Chains A and B, each alone.
Chain A
């Protein structure tokens, strides 16, 4: 067991799967010689050769479109889109083809690919390097959407995606790429897609979150004197409503925290499901702490935009007092 950062845990998962399965190949901008701009793929081209870790032309639609072809031919491509804000040019290939090919052909052709995307704010990056577009892809039927919040989860969830027969988007919260270390087993393990993790148990209130916000929630919980249960969804489609339901039935109060803009965000879906399933158990309205319905500001003001312990603490207090 080694103490690894999230970046190292992802790198380890890639190494182990590439050693095990020669159908797995990586492609994208700067993933080879340079090891990726965040060094997630560091050393992999040297280890596996430039036919398995491929520096592609700079074109996101091309990266995903060719990955779809590779996957339809039976390989397991792992394309990287360098930043969340550059997913836009690949949107058509992801949603018009990767997500649809299985149902379009009634299972005749499938697209087992895993798109790795660094996501979210908090690292003082330029414009379009800090966005949280997960809900766009959760809302596209045919995809699986995953976002880990810890090194241990990152390894197990990435391996699950790499082995999944359907297209997965694996969002990597760049704010916590190197924020902390965690014990990560050397042995391979798979965390199931569709299962949440209860980060800490509590009786008074449930917080539901995912990605880097989970860390903000943990800090807010440490500051609070209340008994709070924190659920990290880990996978956003499919998502573990049973875990949320069980927790909210116990606590009767729920706060949902995400970086993406509030309106039409995935928090709205979770809140609605809670209303459907736990209406008579609720002691207070479900509250959301989210990014604002603005463009993600340049980094001088990014901490004003991102949910932080202060705003999460406010929500905890408001909902607890309701």
Chain B
């Protein structure tokens, strides 16, 4: 028997507004109305500014470790722009821009990194899960959330975000496998920013694309220029349609770059070249949208200056709200462990400053009674 071909596959790559300002008029036609584009640019600008401010807050001791989003804003924003308000948005920790678009008050993100769980107490109507610190675990939650929609016969999808490093985790593969085999409408969005702290993408994935990993699960997949908001929106429309119309998962690889350090506790100069970073600075998602809007005649320097002034004031307000929240009650960490606190835990709570942990004051009394 001759050798036959069991499978031929190809990975499409989408770029609409490239780093040189070239716009694909055919693919980009009616993709984002001008008014929306202005609003998305304003949101990216606010997110960028808050990143700068958060960095300074950390350096001046007003906030704990913080992961900057700089350079990756278009990925989560493009996704959130396409998703419906009741589609689940299941992020990791570099999706501020999409979360803000959904309606998450930005001070919630600062509160989280200021060591306050109230930053994670999110209005259920936003359909957003909290920042996920361990890598890749949230993809399974997204799969379960979307599964619940399917179970109820709803048309809601879930979109989950993760980085290139997360594609090495077992949970990534389990989530992809569950979603594909059980027909669950999840959008898996990989922000391939090339670095997992200091480890380059080649150590996570030796294939030429991350997107092709989806092929092994029988899942449709696409790669896009993640620094191009138009390309992200284009791919997300395909992905969401797959979920809503066919109840199937979809994989999007957004090729992007982490312009900052992994977090404020990291120093990326230790492991990557300045030339590489400089190359990606030229590919900044904000620069190309700004240039394109100017070309269209819907943006100019005075609007830019006014926006800069506005985000300055907005971020000041966000920081003020985050820093001026009432201090948590000193027993706050006991209070949401269970729907109803077990009696023994309640005893620990009540006696935590009056008795050594584990000692039961009633026992001390009865001991005295016995001695008497």
**Contact surface of A with B, Cβ cutoff 8 Å:** 25, 51, 54, 56-57, 59, 61-62, 64-75, 77, 89, 92-93, 96-97, 102-110, 141-142, 144, 164-166, 194, 237-239, 241, 272, 276-277, 279-281
By a CB distance below 8 angstroms, the chain B residues around A93 are 137, 140, 171
Contacts of B120 in A (CB 8 A): 104-106, 108
The 8 closest A-B pairs by CB, nearest first: A69-B144, A65-B140, A73-B148, A62-B174, A238-B342, A66-B144, A165-B339, A106-B121
Residues of B within 8 A of A74 (CB): 148
Interface residues of B (CB under 8 A from A): 88, 117-118, 120-122, 124, 129-130, 134, 137, 139-149, 151, 158, 170-171, 174-175, 177-178, 181-182, 333, 335-339, 342-345, 358-360, 363, 367, 370-371
Closest to A277 in B: B363
A-B contact pairs, 10 of them (CB 8 A): A61-B170, A61-B171, A69-B145, A75-B148, A75-B151, A103-B336, A106-B336, A142-B338, A272-B358, A277-B363
CA gap between A88 and B73 in the complex, in Å: 37
* A97 → B minimal CB distance (Å): 6
Contact (A65, B342) CB under 8 Å given A72-B129, A92-B134, A108-B121? no
Contact assessment for B174 and A65 in the assembled complex, using a CB-CB cutoff below 8 Å: yes
- Inter-subunit contact B178/A62 (CB<8 Å): yes
Contacts A62-B174, A107-B336, A141-B337 given; indicate if A280 touches B371 (C-beta within 8 A).
yes
Q: Please give the distance in Å from B34's CB to the nearest CB on chain A.
A: 37
Interchain CA distance A141-B335 in the complex, whole Å: 12
Picked from B121, B147, B342, the residue with its CB within 8 Å of the CB of A69 is: B147
Chain B residues whose C-beta falls within 8 Å of the C-beta of A104 in the assembled complex: 117, 120, 130
- Inter-chain contacts of A272 with B (CB < 8 A): 358
Instruction: Note all chain A residues with C-beta closer than 8 A to B336.
Output: 102-103, 105-107
Q: Give the residues in chain A near B148, CB-CB below 8 Å.
A: 69-70, 73-75
Residue of A nearest to B134 (CB): A96
Contact A68 B144 (CB under 8 A): yes
Could you tell me the distance in whole angstroms from the C-beta of B202 to the nearest C-beta in chain A?
26
A66 to chain B, nearest CB (A): 4
A142, B145: Cα distance in complex, Å: 21
Report the separation of the CA atoms of residues A74 and B154 in the bound assembly, to the nearest whole angstrom: 14
B129 and A65 contact, CB distance less than 8 A:
no
Cα–Cα, bound, A276→B348 (Å)? 14
User: Across the two chains, which residue of chain B brings its CB closest to A68?
Assistant: B141
A84 and B183 CA atoms in complex are apart in Å by: 29
User: In the complex the two chains form, what is the Cα distance from A106 to B333 in whole Å?
Assistant: 9
- B206 to A: closest C-beta gap in Å: 23
